[in-house]
Structure 1
Amino acid sequence: MILYKLYPKPPFSRFRTSNDGLDITDYMIHSDTLFSSLVNVHAQVYGKEDTDEWVKDFETDQLSISSAFIGLEQEGKVIYFFPKPTMLMEHELIPEHRKASAAMQWVSEGLLQKILDHYDSDSRCSFLQIKDCVKSKDGKFWCLPEESGSLPNIVTKQVKPGLEIDRQTGGAVEGMLYNQTDWMLPSKTKEWYPFLFVLAKGEQQKLAACLRLLADTGIGGKRSTGAGQFERVEVSDWSWQQPSDKGLEYHLSLLNPEANEMDKLRYYELKVRAGHYAGRQQELMPHVNMVGEGAVTQQGTTGRLVSLSQTPPIIRYGKSFTLEF
């Protein structure tokens, strides 16, 4: 498995990665957004025919990517944060512990392994004591005490008012105000250097080239204003130390399951993915329901690419990227 580190530009990189509304954002780059950006860059560099074949590699699972998540590093130490698994945990059954962990969204690699290892299939619950774990001041990021004695608040959110623009005329739509949310990832906190990371499987040469080009072109919305850019990309190997074998898998990408995979779903949250077609004035893309990152399913789910348009071909990425346990 290959791991790509995407380092933010000093003093920070700004991202517009809205979910189902401009005022709602997730502190990650979803796999479908990343896939679209990669395919667009690939088409510019390698041409349409080569890109069509490249997309087939994703469709046939010869190449796959995760969403992009946040990590921290300092000299001799790296912490990768993953989405909190969408399963019941013992602390959620205890009122005082439930309140203390209500904001938990991201767990370190070590904590993730322990959560999955302590999962009991009969009780459908992970029996892990988290009272000694370390969390950031905002309560969103958690790790084991042996990974770090403290965690900073990593991400800053900025909410700004906006005026809706008519995509056909280019003029403002009277009375249509909304809030738009950006999130900022600093290049350095007091003690740590944050970064984004993406996991990938398969042939990496063209994927690595496209990711490096995305450093300048950007990912997500408002790229023309400099949003979504990063300073550099570093590549390394990464392996998952499978904590146990319960016949389940934990998802690190958005998933749109095949019809015959629906009964494999165990614990999940739905995310509605939407947007506008580029260059088609006011035309909206069809809404697509996706299983969110952090879902738990039976092993063997592959997902699919969802076709939104034939001419030109427009695809939403819903293939799985999983860690087994």
Structure 2
Amino acid sequence: MDNWYLVRLDFGQNVAHFGRVGIGLEETSDRLPSDSLFSALISTYARIYPEHLGSLLDAINGPKPPFRHSSTFIYVRNQETYRYYLPKPLSFPKNYQTDDNLTLTKAYKKLAYLPLEVWQSWYQGEGFTKADGDEIIAHAQAQSSQENRLQKLGMFDYGKTHRTAKLPKVSLDRITQASNFYHTKVVQFQCEFKEAESQKTQSGKRQPEKQAGLYFLLHFPQANPELMDQLKTVLSVLADEGIGGERSSGAGRFTLDWVKTLPEAWRSLLQFAKPNAYSLLSLFWNDQKDELSQIKEDKNARYEFQDRGGWVSSSPTGIQERRKKVRMFSEGSVFAFPPQGRLADVTPPRFNAHPVYRSGLALSLPISIDLQ
């Protein structure tokens, strides 16, 4: 699996703020979607490599983009073992009986993210089993056991990987100096330490026994060492400056972990040889009729939409304008083909400083489902 890379963002005990469209500072998501990650990468790239920006954007919006990436999702490191969560595809796994049990149906619908091993078993392996259903029902009825397979794999532990909190803030009017009190909601990822002094590293800092953070997949269709090195530099800058909102308050800073060798579990996932559908790991947008007509004709397609908007923060000009809104397919949407997508031009009216793009480039995984 050449040219596939796994990138982990370790926030340690730092907080982060990932805003949601139409909600404001009082709410935060637990992760960063692909279009926001792309914006962070490109805006930082523009500051470091301004002479290459135009040609890179032209290539990205061309027929063969030089790279694609997923949205960020949560991982958990327990000592030396990593658990990765993936968005649950919107199609039911093979062998799932939709009208079998109301308790199971309700509990299943609440599952938004699956551990990699469960995701692979359901969508690339034998599919959904009666034992899986029994375990999900048992957990819903508070009868789950640590000995159960799904429980061991962390199926029901997603909510433990992070917590949110409200931070009090005060802003001052630039003219009257009148104060305005408000709250900002932030997310903090799980970080558990052992009390033993032996857990200290050579630097004198304690090593967390269990640590959660974010990860994303990065794919270069063709080897491009120069661009890869540039993106490593960009991510290193973002690690120091922070990613997401409230960076001026120190939020969003992380330690970059660029995994050199793709773990075997991921290699197996990407090499699945007999797919009949594809599930999105990123947001997806396209206005080209050929791809949209394929979706319209696909009776097995399952998808949801997200409205994406926000503000332009233009470093060279200092101008802030609200971007045009665009509606994108959500992660977990399922199609009969691997969607491609493209950049959406969301430049605000009367904003002439530079074009503003939202990434609708798609990254998906092959799956096998029961077709109608």
TM-score, normalised with respect to structure 2: 0.72
Q: Report the secondary structure of 2:245's partner residue.
A: coil
The total of aligned residue pairs comes to 310
Equivalent residue in structure 2 for 1:217, among 236, 241, 244: 241
Moved more, 72-81 or 187-196: 187-196
Aligned position for 1:85: 89
Aligned position for 1:188: 192
Equivalent residue in structure 2 for 1:324, among 359, 362, 366: 366
Amino acid at match of 1:188: E
- Aligned-partner Cα distance in 1 for 2:88–2:338: 21
Equivalent residue in structure 1 for 2:11, among 3, 8, 13: 8
Amino-acid identity (%): 23
- Listed one character per residue, the Cα deviations across residues 20-67 of structure 1 (whole Å, up to 9, x for unaligned) are 222554322111111111112212222x22122223343332211111
Q: Report the secondary structure of 2:123's partner residue.
A: helix
Determine if contact 1:81/1:109 at 8 Å carries over to the other structure. yes
**1:225/1:78 CA distance change after superposition, 3 Å:** same
Aligned position for 2:79: 75
Aligned position for 1:107: 114
| Residue 312, structure 1, aligned to residue 351, structure 2 | no
Q: Report the secondary structure of 1:85's partner residue.
A: coil
| Residue 280, structure 1, aligned to residue 340, structure 2 | no
Amino acid at match of 1:19: R
**1:271/1:143 CA distance change after superposition, 3 Å:** farther
Long gaps (5+) in structure 2: 195-208, 296-300, 368-372
Greater C-alpha radius of gyration: 2
**1:311/1:149 CA distance change after superposition, 3 Å:** closer
Amino acid at match of 1:154: T
- Shift, 1:302, TM fit: 0.5
**1:271/1:163 CA distance change after superposition, 3 Å:** farther
**1:257/1:95 CA distance change after superposition, 3 Å:** same
| Residue 43, structure 1, aligned to residue 67, structure 2 | no
Determine if contact 1:212/1:233 at 8 Å carries over to the other structure. no
- Shift, 1:244, TM fit: 5.7
- Shift, 1:161, TM fit: 7.0
Aligned position for 1:55: 57
Equivalent residue in structure 2 for 1:269, among 283, 304, 307: 304
Determine if contact 2:280/2:333 at 8 Å carries over to the other structure. yes
**1:57/1:145 CA distance change after superposition, 3 Å:** farther
Amino acid at match of 2:366: E
Q: Report the secondary structure of 2:134's partner residue.
A: coil
Q: Report the secondary structure of 1:67's partner residue.
A: coil
| Residue 255, structure 1, aligned to residue 279, structure 2 | no
Moved more, 299-308 or 233-242: 233-242
More strand by share: 1
Q: Report the secondary structure of 1:132's partner residue.
A: helix
Amino acid at match of 1:307: D
More helix by share: 2
**1:163/1:92 CA distance change after superposition, 3 Å:** farther
